[in-house]
Structure 1
Amino acid sequence: MQNALPPALTITPPDHPLSGRVSPPGSKSITNRALLLAALAEGTSRLTGALKSKDTALMARALREMGVTVDEPDATTFLITSPGRLQAPAGPLFLGNAGTATRFLTAAVATIVGTVVVDGDEDMRLRPILPLVEALNTLGIDARSPSGCPPVTIHGTGSFGQGRVEIDASLSSQYVSALLMAAPLGEGPIEIALTGKDIGARGYVDLTLAAMRAFGAVVEARDDGSWLVQPTGYKAADFHVEPDASAATYLWGIEALTGGRIDLGVSADAFTQPDAAAKAVLAQFPNMPAVIDGSQMQDAVPTMAVVAAFNNHPVRFVGIANLRVKETDRIRAVANELNRLRPNLAREEGDDLIVNADPSLMQSAQRNATSRIETYHDHRIAMSFALAGLKMGGVTILDPACTGKTYPEYWDMLAGLGVELTPTA
């Protein structure tokens, strides 16, 4: 279905619990980390269980443009052969709205001898990157971003420098991960320290450290806010990518709303990704907590918010200010679209999101009204609001193809569970 998706899909609520076996795709976050680290390692690395999606395709294409051989022998494997250093591309690197690829490569291309422009689409050009650019400048790297967002121009000399660099990671942990992954190519040890204790989704830094060590890096956590990285470079390795916990949240949401049972082939506690914490929250439906701190499971917040619309009592989501600088302003987008399902179903209060739960919506499967959900080119808005269509009649998802960013088979998965999806103009 993904290759020929219509402009919109209308969901018919199933009249039975949804059960079955679903294998989530590989983790986008881990795949893009492993692709970059393999490209920085001399030799051939094999990545298995990897995600093949728009975001990872953009990363792979950029690596090819910098002299790395990236082969794809099957649907979940990458073979990466690299001389251990990136080469200057012939033109700007275009990375769409892939935040991980854009932030990670902004740091990594500083190890190139030459000038590199890292750019994205109109949405990416609204996403802040100045804290990372300023940190690179501290290391003696000539990086410039006049708007504070992409495009970024980096004049590399082949060195990532050495010494201590401080970074404000309150907007995104990806800034820290970008510096960490490039640091083993420094001239000497590099200490990376937070300017404050606030960091968006700290668990993703742990994913970065694990992947770095798998490719031979030596990195030590000095305390809660600093890391020391040795100039070891990287070694080629075979690396298995675990399933995507963010994708799994939709399956856990399906279980909660329909009373079904979906076998993911992996238990929630086997994930190393922070979004897996959403499983315990969703399992409490229809009595989810009155206050949910989404700071360490940010990509799961849209899923939890849509499920919370059917909860027995209102839910306030806190610690989610960073959602305003994702693919879209997800706080505003979720509030807007919940209110499209029912007026005053949600509201913004500062950077908190309040969902005024209405359990009577669980009985609205046969209503005749139509809710056409705007997705804002954001895959997570499309996938999370599809869950509302499992309980409410008339839910139509606009631009369903945007799910290809991280979960190309999402609609096929729903259809495979027995959900009727009707193409709509």
Structure 2
Amino acid sequence: MIVSVQKSVLSGEVNAPASKSYTHRAVFVSALGTRKAQLSNCLISDDTRSTMNACRLFGARFDETPDTICVSGFGNHPKTPDEVVDIGNSGTTLRFMTALSALCDGEIELTGDASIQKRPNVPLLSTLQKMGAAAYSKNDNGCAPLIVRGKMKPGKYSIDGGVSSQFVSALLLTCPLLDGPTELLIDGELKSKPYVDITVDVAQKAGVQIIEQGGANGNISYRIAGNQHYDLGDYTVPGDFSSVSYVLAAAALIPGSDVSVKNIFPSAQGDSAIIDILKEMGADIVWDKEKGVVRVVHSGKKLTGIVVDAGKTPDLVPTLAVLGAFSDGMMLIQNAEHVRFKETDRLAAMAAELSKMGADIIETKDGLIISGQNSRIKGAAVHGWDDHRIVMSLFVAGMIAGNTVIDTAESIRISYPSFFEDMKKIGARVEI
């Protein structure tokens, strides 16, 4: 899909889409449940469909209405799929199903699209091996297709926390079903920790206890009792801060804009940091937490670049890059090397595409340096890299620069299927 966007001024209200991260976990936890769960306000996207479809192969049943998803779980007894588990483009699904496969009898193969077959899984595979399962890459490169033969056993184990929090989340959600206690020690810094916090939040709402502990050397560990049972019951998925970051950033950058985003309540999402980041950059932004409404009014002045540590908020990096390109001063995005292992290398992608538009941007080993005052942004034909977050962030840049064309725009179906429609409602000039 090709999208063209012209200079736009934004005004009005938009509802935040449901959180992709919370939907993934609510669906998976419900599938692990012993009783029916009813999920409301779920994000139905390509990625979350991947989790639902994969859970079906392990024995879960889903009944959908326009407003809810009713899940009948397989409890502590997932069946062994009789076909290859194809998870499409969803890294979360791959990691969750890989850990789940280590609870099953028999051999399971998991794979995905070309992008998934480039994403690393070594920390999860090596930890599953230490736990007693056979888990390896079919092509011996740490990437899908993956082969798993259970079963993993409880005990005390360690895992590298520096590549992806999804490895940790996958184990935290499956270990409660083992027949004894498990302690999981995180080696080094746990990158994207707020996503693990979301995992723990959903598990606890389903009645499962996962206890976080701090170590003497600064490392953290998680203690998980065995023989637990999930029961999520009735659950409503909160709005998604990652997705609304594009709307908020656009309103903060485009003169004359006045935008309110509804269904944004406090949660464990680390990307809620976008509100404080915009405030620090000088945006006129107010969050009514009780009503769940964020309003941004362009104050007539340009934002100012700041230093941002993206260790806990990797999904904000494309948005931050655009904010830096259109701000005064220097924008320094640090501690973001793990962003290179997403759907694409997002540091390289944003540096390449914003450079085409005239941004003064330098790619470093773990971040980006953007000199907004030296950038001369103009419209351009840019590549979306088949990555939803690259496409949506470049769309924000296009609304300011005008005359911008973005390819692979269909990738927004991964996390925000109604993005272009929502942007049109508040004034975006877009042709698909």
* Same fold per superposition (TM over 0.5): yes
1:397 paired residue number: 406
Instruction: Specify which of 16, 22, 44 is matched with residue 14 of structure 2.
Output: 22
Q: Quick one: which of 209, 214, 234 aligns to 2:200?
A: 209
Residue in structure 2 matched with residue 49 of structure 1 by the alignment: 41
Partners of 1:380 and 1:411 in 2: how far apart? 13
Q: Which residue does the alignment assign to 2:239? A: 243
Asked if 1:315 corresponds to 2:331, the answer is: yes
Q: CA deviation at 1:89?
A: 1.1
1:418: Cα distance to partner? Answer: 1.7
Is 1:307–1:387's contact at 8 Å kept on the other side of the alignment?
A: no
The AA in structure 1 aligned to 2:157 is V
**Equivalent residue, structure 2, for 1:234:** 230
Q: Deviations over 1:137-174 (max 9, x none)?
A: 111111112211111111124xx411111000101111
1:148 aligned partner: 142
Distance in 2 (CA, whole Å) between partners of 1:161 and 1:54 is: 33
* 3-state DSSP of counterpart to 1:389: helix
Deviation at 1:86, TM superposition (A): 1.7
SS in 2 for 1:213: helix
Does the alignment pair 1:293 with 2:332? no
Partner of 1:410: 419
Describe the SS at the equivalent of 2:24. Answer: helix
Q: CA–CA distance in 2 between the matches of 1:292 and 1:57? A: 33
3-state secondary structure, aligned to 2:38: strand
> What is aligned with 2:389?
380
Shift of 1:46: 0.9
Give the TM-score taking structure 2 as reference length.
0.90
Q: CA RMSD in A?
A: 1.6
Query: Are residue 357 (structure 1) and residue 348 (structure 2) matched?
Result: no
> What SS does the corresponding residue of 1:264 show, helix, strand or coil?
strand
Q: Structure 1 regions of 5+ residues with no counterpart? A: 1-6, 365-369
Identity %: 31
Query: Shift of residue 361 of structure 1?
Result: 4.8
Question: Comparing 206-215 with 217-226, which one deviates more in the overlay?
Answer: 217-226
- Cα deviation code 1:164-196 (max 9, x no counterpart): 110001011111111100011111000011122
1:225 to 220, 227, 236: 220
Q: Is 1:161 equivalent to 2:153 in the alignment?
A: yes
- Sort the Cα spacing of 1:31 and 1:178 in 2 relative to 1 into closer, same or farther, 3 A: same
SS at match of 2:65: strand
| Number of the residue aligned with 2:93 | 101
Q: Determine the structure 2 residue equivalent to 1:4.
A: none
Q: Is the 8 A contact 1:361 1:391 kept in 2?
A: no
> How far apart are 1:267 and its partner, in Å?
4.9
Change (3 A) 1:191 1:258: same
User: Which position in structure 2 is the counterpart of 1:92?
Assistant: 84
CA distance in 2, matches of 1:28, 1:86: 24
SS at match of 2:385: coil
Question: Which shifted more, 330-339 or 370-379?
Answer: 370-379
1:319 maps to amino acid = N
Alpha-carbon offset, residue 360 of structure 1: 7.1
Separation of aligned partners in 1, 2:211 and 2:353? 44
Q: Aligned equivalents of 1:304 and 1:26: distance in 2?
A: 21
In structure 2, the gaps of 5 or more residues are 283-301
Aligned match for 2:274, one of 267, 271, 278: 278
- Alpha-carbon distance, 1:371 to partner: 0.8
Q: What is the match of residue 111 of structure 2? A: 119
Number of residue pairs the alignment of both structures matches: 403
Counterpart for residue 263 of structure 1: 260
Match of 1:66 among 39, 49, 58: 58
